[in-house]
Structure 1
Amino acid sequence: MNFTQIALQLFTHGYSFGFGAEQYADHRGIDSKGRSMSGAHLWAKAEAARLEDALHGRSVNMVSAEIELARTMATRVRGYVRPTGLLDKGVSVLEFGPGTVMAFREKTFPVVRELVGRQGRCILIDNSDLFLNQLRDAYGDRIARLTLITENIFSGRRFAGWNEPAFMLMFGRTFGNLDAKASDEAPYKDAARTLRDLAKAAPAGWFAVSIGSNLDGERAKAYYEAHPEFQVNVFFRMAAEMEIEGRFNPEAFRYEADIRGSAEFLQVVHTAVLQEDLSFKLAYEPFDLKAGTRFHLKNSFCFSRGFMEESAQLAGLRPVDFLSDGHGSDLHVFAKPPSS
């Protein structure tokens, strides 16, 4: 679906999975004070602040924890691959949502150095052209076979060649943005389906997935509500790019983090709450929205180790390694056999 179709689905049904990817897009939307509300810029600003705090020891958070886990994994990846005999020629590294240059440098590039070798590729898939262009500028001369693909990372497409095993990566707890309705039930089927679809990106290989395992809802709520402007930037993009007739005020959408969960999972339902009545037409479809209406923009899940490993097995993947900081940041490594 294109952005207009995603917006129509959101206003019609109150939820559209496609918004998760669209939040990271670069656009020309501005607020009433003339400040950029581009998702790519807002995300880069928030991530840079977290990374700088982590790298300079000013805070310990999911960013600093994930950097350490990724660096530890980079020292082990050759051990995962060695039994296959592929190390001599190199193994392709494929990442879903590499994000900013700083994130790639700290987490992904160490894995690329260990595995790509003479024949492997570095394949980066992201919904943001801005991020990919910045990565090309920074690493185009350092990585001989760099392939950049603008695509929804949850598309379920094949990105590696049909005879190209790959070491797949999904950092940033992005897996937690999987498609699922708000529920108090653990989403085993949704998680297994998402793992299976993502793993289709390569015919075989390995899949490293970062995820949170701290099920403290209040902590998660505080984390996400610290950057509310990023969560609602899509409405400013609508105002800037779409032909909307009538009254549409992007600043009327206030962000809230709704919490669901159990002993196996935590679901943050990223929600936009309308603060005033709006009446407008979008793509000739009339909408009369009332103050208090809630829109489900995307999810951020945290999962226990047991949940992730059971979901992976349901998806045809085999657990290979598990890394954790012991405080809620986990990195799972799975093997994907050629038949899955």
Structure 2
Amino acid sequence: MDVIAIEGLVKRYDELLALDHFDLNVAQGEIFGLLGPNGSGKTTSINCMLALLTYDRGSIELFGEPMAPTRYDLKRRIGIVPQQVAVIDELTVRENIDYFCSLYVSDRARRRALVGEAIEFVELEEFVRFRPGKLSGGLLRRLNIACGIAHKPELIFFDEPTVAVDPQSRNAILSGIQRLRAEGATVVYTSHYMEEVEQICDRVMIMDHGRALAQGTPDELKRSIRTGERIVIELEGPSGPRARSRSHASPGAALPARELDRLRALPHVLGVSLAGNLLAVSCEASEHNLTDVLASLRAGNARLGRITCAPPTLNDVFLEITGRELRD
């Protein structure tokens, strides 16, 4: 069953078209990555799903039912972990989690058990009497998560939950999200950290200007773009009498300009850059890229050191699809 089914969603802010016939389907038990540059429509689409915003056209169904501002039965099945930490400074860790859980669960005995499970889930047992002002950034993020999931929601929205946390806290948060999925939750995850999305998401949508531009598994998206592997070669400097006599090499360069031009002329090569003794060659997808690059360098008597060849990343996909210009 699709936990989220959106069809033809249109949302305008005066003359600004924020969502342009936007479609989205998220299956039960998925971790779904919703990606896009700033201003692409991610937040607007989520707020429409949560019935926090009205929209001009289209339909939204959650759990197979039409979503509306008064569908409190559906809202009780949803959890939200916002990007900005949203806790109450005057309450302790336990009191914060209990307060947010009480918005969904009125029975005190059941709520006490749920709060204890949430504290254990985010590993805050040693900090239950601390107030938020005494917690580190990573602990605050974990408290934020506990407040959003304590009532055992079936659908959880995570909006950049790992911003400004240390690597240990980031790993704990990502592992926790995967555990939530293993326990039956469906997750919608937004982030600008592409390596996180690649690590935990089953499917990904890249959107911009209010439209879905591409979606699929991370591997499917990487296969869909023009960019192939990136070859990085450590050069050990020129060798041999012919190499030492070259006159077109710039001071300190490990390769003369004409050999860089020869690399750029190879089939399937998209770009060549040289920084110190590190040569980077970006290629289209092809079976013979590495062979062709090495043959060209050896023909010029280049001395080669360590060689690495990396496939395209989700970051490459994102930049190729949405462009490289800066966004506000």
Q: TM-score, with normalisation over the residues of structure 2?
A: 0.26
Q: Which has the higher strand share?
A: 2
Please report the TM-score for the alignment, with normalisation by the length of structure 1. 0.26
Query: Which is higher, the Rg of structure 1 or of structure 2?
Result: 2
